[in-house]
Amino acid sequence: MIKKHLLVFLALAVFMTPAYCSLKAQDLAEQAKKHKATLEKTPHDMRVRQRYAELLSEAGDYAEAKRQISIILANAPNNMAAMISLARIQIAEGDITSARETLTSILEKSPAHREAGSMMASISESNKLEETLEITEQQKAAVLSQIASEKEQAVFEEISKEEGEAAALSHVFTPYRAGQEKALNIFRLPMIDVPGTNKPLKFADMLSKKTFSPAVNLFKADYFLYRGDSKKAFEYLQKSQASGLERLDAAYLDKYAAMRVLSAAYSENFDVLDVSQNAADSNSPVVKMASGLHAQIKEIPDKISLNKFLGGLAVANEHYKVAEIKFEQALSEGDEDPLILSMLAELQVRNGSYAKAEKSFMQLAKIEKDNPEVFLNLARFYLTADFNYGKFRTYAAISANLRKETDPRLEYFKALADYGAGFGKQAEEVLEKLIEAYPYSEFAKVCSISLARIKSGESPADFIESLALPGSSKAPAASYAMWAADNMERASWFAAAEEFAKAGSVAGEARAWFAAGAELAKLGDMEESKNFLSQGVALAKQRLQAKPNDAEANLSMALYLSSAGDHAKSLEHVSAGLEDPEPMPEAMMKLIKIAESLGN
């Protein structure tokens, strides 16, 4: 189970990253040379110029990379990809001041831009030591012994900030030291006692439950944007406003304002964007964003161009389902822009619309018959979204013939497909050659992981399942947990809970509701906080009735009880969770951390 969870992540990364492998310096130089030659023929192709800048940056030629990016930004000042690339270079050069200015500019234009927000946070925090996930039986035994003997309660320190749901949990459950609430500006979560016989509500009931909480309505608006329903999102933002925005803190007010502007734009409610009367707020980033959008939209000549613009806006703000819908509308009205079609296909894969993605890739192949990347994408589709060895080999061969030279990515995909089809020896030989050809690279590391799995004797059927993208035909239901973890990281609680429910992870769904309840408590909305915490407790107890030693369910309860101040009961759940015979390593590590922090 642990291995498959990690491998699904690797498969998703392989599919969604065009230049996944880190090639040797001479390969980067060769690729850069080819892109430069292409630019001389088509200087207005910003896609090629962006990739050329990225290759230069990877090769360490920051000066020329920045020059190329400046050309892109001169033509398209709001090109988020170019601005992100510029910020990366500035960070690499140690120019943190300029990087902060660039990221601030991005966030002013797009306050919800997650990558920019993450980069801004990373340059504002001190470096953190990486933690190992390996847990020995001696460690478990030592912690269990400590729990049994400790009497003194101590500080509940910050839980490890791993990617995905761990990153979300780290700021949801606040550290607590008895007697120091005022000094640390810390609160306790309310204690919820839910009888074990109480059944938790279904997700649909939680979503439809009427509320007068502006924060909860904001959570729901965020969910509907995730699902691509911008009109429904706008409705809930209106409800949030009617519920009393003064109950939100400054950060949530900014989030509300940005979401309202974007939802209005997506649903073509453009009157909301006309903020010319709000002179007093003219310096507000959100007002600037609204007025800028209003001015741009007025200049758009036709419906196709409008849908393209709104789709790009949605991509920039990571509202991928909205973007998918807008690009579909642009293409349905007669547009055959290969760039839009390519973006649409990738969005459809990202959003799990695999049948639509297949059609989009096929349509793109008819338009760009001489583009090897198009056929590489088709080959990858039949490797990860719907494993079909025959179709994979067909499109891989076309891509190889068009490219003329060997593409290491394609060779890697061939090895994976060969093993899934039962040609283990052939797959091993290809991977060994790739590792030898690209030593000490990230690409070699990925090849080594796959080679180790093959040599371990993993069955081809299990191998195919682990490569399958979340929700695809060959993927297990548990694969939805990948999307759930992503939503936990985004603090999108309703979306996370729904994806955990699809994955059959009761403990995961409980964590999502616990996280939402903790956020509401921080906002002072204690009534709604109790409702969400009660749902989390009911779900965790339901799971623990079926499996008392479930590490993840016990972790959820331990985190909650620790934040509520009941350290004794928290340690009971830690002890139970450490006895899980098949735990996720992240859960075990966090259980040990709780025990150490409460038992010092």
Report the Cα–Cα distance between both ends of the chain, in Å, rounded. Answer: 33
Confidence (pLDDT) at 539: 95
- 578, amino acid identity: L
- Please tell me the least confidently modeled range out of 112-126, 352-366, 490-504, 582-596: 112-126
User: Do 142 and 69 reside in the same domain of the chain?
Assistant: no
Task: Report CA-CA distances (Å) from 421 to 3, 373, 379, 426, 493.
Answer: 20, 23, 14, 11, 39
d(CA 424, CA 66): 45
d(CA 168, CA 94): 28
Confidence (pLDDT) at 3: 42
Q: Torsion angle, CA of 270/105/45/48, rounded to 10 degrees?
A: -130
Percent of the chain clearing pLDDT 70 (strictly above): 80
- Please tell me the least confidently modeled range out of 189-198, 456-465, 486-495, 553-562: 189-198
User: Do 588 and 486 reside in the same domain of the chain?
Assistant: yes
d(CA 310, CA 357): 20
Residue carrying structure tokens 């600037």:
288
Confidence (pLDDT) at 74: 76
DSSP string covering 308-354: HHHHHHHHHTT-HHHHHHHHHHHHHTT---HHHHHHHHHHHHHTT-H
Cα torsion 230, 235, 240, 242: sign: positive
Q: What are phi and psi of 529, to 5 degrees?
A: -60, -45
- Please tell me the least confidently modeled range out of 286-295, 307-316, 386-395, 419-428: 286-295
Number of domains in the chain: 2
d(CA 519, CA 496): 15
d(CA 27, CA 409): 13
User: Do 175 and 87 reside in the same domain of the chain?
Assistant: no
d(CA 254, CA 195): 39
CATH of the domain at 56: 1.25.40.10
Provide the 10 A C-beta neighbour count for residue 583. Answer: 23
| Domain carrying residue 574 | 137-208+479-599
d(CA 584, CA 61): 42
The residue-averaged pLDDT of 422-427 equals 94
d(CA 105, CA 277): 24
**Final residue of a structural domain among 81, 99, 124:** 124
Query: Is the pTM value of this prediction over 0.75?
Result: no
502 located within any domain: yes
**Final residue of a structural domain among 70, 100, 124:** 124
Task: Report CA-CA distances (Å) from 392 to 65, 380, 384, 387, 427.
Answer: 35, 7, 10, 8, 15
| Tens digit of each residue's pLDDT (9 = 90 or more) over 306-344 | 999 999 999 988 999 999 999 999 999 877 888 899 999
Cβ contacts of 368 within 8 Å, gap of 6 or more: 338, 374
- pLDDT band of residue 510 (cuts 50, 70, 90) is very high
User: Do 68 and 159 reside in the same domain of the chain?
Assistant: no
- Please tell me the least confidently modeled range out of 21-35, 137-151, 392-406: 137-151
User: Do 106 and 81 reside in the same domain of the chain?
Assistant: yes
- pLDDT band of residue 103 (cuts 50, 70, 90) is confident
How distant is the alpha carbon of residue 526 from its chain centre?
29
Cβ contacts of 361 within 8 Å, gap of 6 or more: 345, 374, 377, 378, 381
- Which of 265, 323, 319 lies closest to 294, judged by CA? 265
300: which 2 tokens? 């758009």
The residue-averaged pLDDT of 519-531 equals 91
Percent of the chain clearing pLDDT 90 (strictly above): 44
74 located within any domain: yes
d(CA 336, CA 368): 11
d(CA 597, CA 157): 6
d(CA 397, CA 331): 29
- pLDDT band of residue 31 (cuts 50, 70, 90) is confident
d(CA 164, CA 590): 14
Strands in 515-570 per DSSP E: none
User: Do 144 and 190 reside in the same domain of the chain?
Assistant: yes
User: Do 542 and 578 reside in the same domain of the chain?
Assistant: yes
Average pLDDT, the chain: 80
Confidence (pLDDT) at 355: 96
60 located within any domain: yes
d(CA 302, CA 280): 33
239 located within any domain: no
H helices present in 159-249, as ranges? 165-172, 181-184, 203-208, 214-226, 230-242
Long-range contacts of 303-312 (CB under 8 A, 24+ apart): 303/333, 304/330, 304/333, 304/334, 304/335, 306/268, 307/333, 308/335, 308/337, 308/340, 310/265, 310/266, 310/268, 311/340, 311/343
Residue carrying structure tokens 């603090």:
491
- pLDDT band of residue 147 (cuts 50, 70, 90) is low
**Final residue of a structural domain among 124, 152, 170:** 124
Cβ contacts of 494 within 8 Å, gap of 6 or more: 206, 207, 219, 220, 222, 223, 226, 512, 516
The residue-averaged pLDDT of 54-66 equals 84
How distant is the alpha carbon of residue 63 from its chain centre?
31
126: which 2 tokens? 């001190």
User: Do 119 and 146 reside in the same domain of the chain?
Assistant: no
181 located within any domain: yes
d(CA 154, CA 141): 21
498 located within any domain: yes
464 located within any domain: no
Confidence (pLDDT) at 136: 53
Cβ contacts of 9 within 8 Å, gap of 6 or more: 482
525 located within any domain: yes
Q: Output 75 or 508, whichever has higher pLDDT.
A: 508
User: Do 522 and 553 reside in the same domain of the chain?
Assistant: yes
User: Do 551 and 582 reside in the same domain of the chain?
Assistant: yes
User: Do 107 and 204 reside in the same domain of the chain?
Assistant: no
Three-state secondary structure call for residue 247: helix
User: Do 519 and 595 reside in the same domain of the chain?
Assistant: yes
